[in-house]
Structure 1
Amino acid sequence: MKKKNNDTNSGQHDAKPQDLSYEGSMVTPIFQTSNFSFESWDAISDAFDNRTKSFIYSRGNNPTVEVAQRKLADLASGEKALLFGSGMAAISAAVLHCVQKDGHIIAIKNIYGPTNNLLYTYLKDKMNVSITFVSGVELGEFEAAIQANTNLIYLESPSSGVFSLQDIRSVAALAKKNGIKTVIDNTWATPFFQKPLEMGIDLEVHSCSKYIGGHSDVVAGVVIGSSELMNQIFKKEYEWLGARISPAEAALITRSLKTLPLRMKAHEANALEIAEFLENHPKITSVNYPGLKSFKQYDLGKRQMSGNSGLLSFRLATNDLEKAKTFFNNLKKFRIAVSWGGYESLIYALAISYVKEMTKDQFETTGLTYGDMRLSVGLENVTELTQDLEQALDLI
């Protein structure tokens, strides 16, 4: 009996990988190959003419990576996704595709630090791109900031550190009215809890190292959008910058997507319980978590998100560095680390990064204190996590 040919090197390079049986495998095989062969001159020539869909060289398309990309695109209600070697690679590709030399960007103030450096420093120095930062709370801020050369509005909802929200639908409509592209970092909510593309955003980016990967074993990023935009990015920023993801990491992402709904619901339940505990503790002055009814933009969050993740921040009722360190260093269940989104609960003090990059006077102008803490609430027993926070707070 002749065996069914599932070899991607057979010339059928526009097949949908997730539609193939792979000999009945329950898990997508890892195509650990850099190169793909062809049967003839015409076959490889045709593949180059249709390279956004063809398997030629794994810096472009790879079957294992393609499976993960299609699943991510479907989850986000997008037409196409491209996976990159890190979240910053994905963000950089999306931003670079949208901006022009001597252009202008509108961005919210509280965005991820490396993204801020890309927009405010790198693009300013290399391409003479100017930037206007807005709080993002009022639509009028965006409207007032638009200039004749505005190419991009960059959102992050909820934002880093303080988790403020933007009215995504309204900003997207304003941008389209003025011919401006929009990019949103949707890492916090994930495509499971928030779908910005359905609200009119052009490009959605994620650090897949966080909840999408979910197991602290992947560094990756993704851009999701329309086929038209994504094919343009593929032929330029994706191929030219070469920040590809490996097939092995793509396979881990496909694995993780199978449990994303279960994990996100568990992160949300644990985080809400801890946020409510912190909110009522006498040694905490404020808690930033969109899932709390006391959160200033709670109603907006309910309108544009179907749930909340496990990342929150809070402020100790002290700006004393030594007391902050005492609390920080005496936690037993919360590990100290900069990333988030995995099984493990983590803590990070925002001042650690800021005081290294700023003078004391500059740090004070940010509005942050030594007591500002960020928690990534994991999937451990929430009672034990709460007890751990309580014992550390009792020491200050």
Structure 2
Amino acid sequence: MDLSYILNELGEERGNYFNAIAPPIIQSSNFTFPSVDAMRNDMHYEYEKHFYTRGNNPTVEILRKKLAALEGAEDALVVSSGSTAMSTAILANVQQGDHIVSVSKPYSWTYRLMTDWLPRFGVTTTFVDGTDPANFENAIQPNTRIIYLESPNSFTFELQDLAAVAAIAKARKEAGQEIVTMIDNSYSTPLYQQPIALGIDLSLHSASKYIGGHSDLIAGVICGTNAMMKKIFHAEYMTFGGIISPQNAWLMIRGLRTLELRLERSSQSALQVLAFLENHPKVKHVYFPFSKLHPQYELAKRQMKACGGLLTIALNTGQIDRVDAFADALQRFLLGVSWGGHESLVFPASVSFSRTTDTPNANPDNFNKVRLYIGLEDPAVLIADLAQALEMV
């Protein structure tokens, strides 16, 4: 199944809706039935049938088929946010007394779930340096049920060897211990990294990023086997109700049309920006998986097709006000969180520090990092903007 077919054709039965090129938004909360028998039958097969939009909706169903195919998965569920995808997938696979092994420095709300919420219910987490697969192996306990990955992470872009971690979990399964491996794949998208093909069980996304692509929706994705998707659907998905609206599902289908083109543009522009930044005296270090200076460059090339437009720089300064001045001086980068839209963004780590009350420790790397998202603007314009802002450092 080729990429163009997935993005533009798969799941779209145009003959059912007037041969319209764009699928309709089925903005209906529920669906009617010709008889009690028909209603009874569909109620027991809500995963496949259209009974109530909190379960399955025709517009969302088109999107599910496309996302599963992009990930090389059997099926997918689309939820209300990336955090919902993460928490739903985790809660579906633990019970009281279980244990999780997680990569260190996961997304902040993932970390909060594991440290603030799950312990209330007797679920504990061990965080490990994911750059060495042996750290996952060594942290596994008899009650470990999940290995949680985020590769690359979304600030300093450490990677995990996905095939090696999957092999560790597989060996444990053969020995009788069931461990589910899951990854936050938001940085790479299914186009640039396919964890399921490398043996990972569940691939999760914040679809608010590249998949939506226009900074106008919040959504999340869970991809995996039919059996796992049905398990989640009939329990956590239906119980917590963290669904996506038909309108947002339609916007995501629209976003998928240009996903390949947007990623290519952002990725190629980022490489030009990278070349400029790595040779600038005001930049101490650049974090980017496809930089030849990245310590895991070879691993990145092996398990990722390419990078998108997200990179981080460490400014050559020990003063918070200089970091702030750099970010404030940028004119073509908007100050904001997230990434993956048409607009270039800047997110300085210094925002977590008060210029008047915090005293950074002797290591300036606690606050001198600035994450940049390279959007769809002319890269020459972005480089010129970075050059003038770096004069503030």
TM-score bracket, shorter-length normalisation: over 0.9
Shift of the alpha carbon at 1:88? 0.6
Separation in 2, partners of 1:366, 1:175: 37
Aligned pairs (5 A) from 1:1-396: 18-19=12-13, 21=15, 22-125=17-120, 127-178=121-172, 179-353=178-352, 355=353, 364=361, 368-396=365-393
One-letter amino acid matched to 1:164: E
Asked if the contact 1:111/1:159 (under 8 Å) is kept, the reply is: yes
Instruction: Write the distance in 2 (CA, Å) between the matches of 1:237 and 1:285.
Output: 45
Partners in 1 of 2:112 and 2:305 — Cα distance? 31
Q: Distance in 2 between matches of 1:71 and 1:234?
A: 18
Please report the RMSD computed on the Cα atoms of aligned residues, expressed in angstroms. Answer: 1.7
Q: Distance in 2 between the 1:181 and 1:316 partners?
A: 39
Give secondary structure in 1 for the equivalent of 2:366.
Answer: coil
SS at match of 1:183: strand
**2:141 & 2:81 partners in 1: Cα distance?**
31
3-state SS of paired residue (1:229): helix
- SS of 2:342's partner is coil
Structure 2 CA distance for partners of 1:17 and 1:364, relative to 1, 3 Å? same
Residues 136-157 of structure 1: per-residue CA shift (max 9 Å, x gap): 0111101110001111000000
8 Å CA contact 1:100–1:151 kept in 2: the answer is no
Residue identity matched to 2:244 = I
The SS at the match of 2:229 is helix
Q: 2:261 and 2:129 mapped to 1: Cα distance?
A: 33
Instruction: Determine if contact 2:320/2:350 at 8 Å carries over to the other structure.
Output: no
Q: Counterpart of 2:6? A: none
**Percent identical:** 43
Deviation at 1:276, TM superposition (A): 1.7
State the 1:370 CA deviation. Answer: 2.1
For the residue of structure 2 that corresponds to 1:313, the secondary structure is strand
Task: Mark the runs of 5 or more structure 1 residues left unpaired by the alignment.
Answer: 1-15
Structure 1 counterpart SS, 2:100: strand
User: Deviations 1:81-120 (Å, cap 9, x if unpaired)?
Assistant: 1111111111110011112211111111121111110111
After superposition, give the CA deviation of every residue in 1:367-388 in whole Å (9 maximum; x if it has no partner): 8422110001101010010010
Structure 2 gap ranges (5+): 1-9, 173-177
- Structure 1 residues 132 and 365: alpha-carbon distance in aligned structure 2, compared to 1, 3 A threshold: farther
Determine the C-alpha separation between the residues in 1 that align with 2:335 and 2:324. 12
C-alpha contact (below 8 Å) 2:94/2:145 kept by paired residues = yes
SS at 1:121's partner residue?
Answer: helix
**CA–CA distance in 2 between the matches of 1:48 and 1:111?**
38
User: How far did 1:270 drift?
Assistant: 0.8
Rounded Cα–Cα distance in structure 2 between residues aligned with 1:269 and 1:350: 25
- Distance, in Å, in 1 between the alignment partners of 2:222 and 2:364 is 32
In the alignment, the residues of structure 2 paired with residue 67 and residue 153 of structure 1 have an alpha-carbon distance, to the nearest angstrom, of 30
SS in structure 1 opposite 2:301? helix
Post-superposition offset of 1:365: 10
CA contact (8 A) 1:139 1:167 kept: yes
Q: Which residue of structure 1 aligns with residue 3 of structure 2?
A: none
1:224-259 deviation digits (Å, cap 9, x = unpaired)? 000000010000111000001000100011111111
1:314-345 deviation line (CA, Å, top 9, x unaligned): 10011201111111111100100011110000
How far apart in 1 are the matches of 2:12 and 2:21? 11
Local SS of the residue matching 1:18: coil
Query: What is the DSSP-based 3-state SS (H/G/I as helix, E as strand, rest coil) of the residue aligned with 1:24?
Result: coil
Gap change, CA 1:238 and 1:366, over 3 Å in 2: farther
**SS where residue 324 of structure 1 aligns?**
helix
Amino acid at match of 2:170: K
Q: Distance in 2 between matches of 1:18 and 1:92?
A: 30
Give distance in 1, aligned partners of 2:264 and 2:343.
Answer: 15
Task: Report the Cα offset of residue 366 of structure 1.
Answer: 9.7
1:170-222 CA-to-partner distances (Å, cap 9, x unmatched) read 10111122221011000000000000011111111100000000110111001
Q: Distance in 1 between matches of 2:265 and 2:71?
A: 20
Shift of 1:25: 0.7
Mapped partners of 2:180, 2:358: distance in 1? 37
The question of whether the paired residues in 2 share the 8 Å contact of 1:106 and 1:153 is answered with: yes
Tell me how far 1:395 sits from its aligned partner. Answer: 2.0
Measure the CA separation in 1 of the matches of 2:214 and 2:132: 36
> TM-score if structure 1 supplies the norm length?
0.92
How many angstroms apart in 1 are the aligned matches of 2:358 and 2:99?
Answer: 30
Distance 1:365 1:56 in 2: 60
SS of residue in 2 equivalent to 1:72: helix
How far 1:128 moved relative to its partner?
1.6
Q: CA deviation at 1:273?
A: 1.1
Rate the CA distance shift 1:258–1:143 in 2: closer, same or farther, 3 A. same
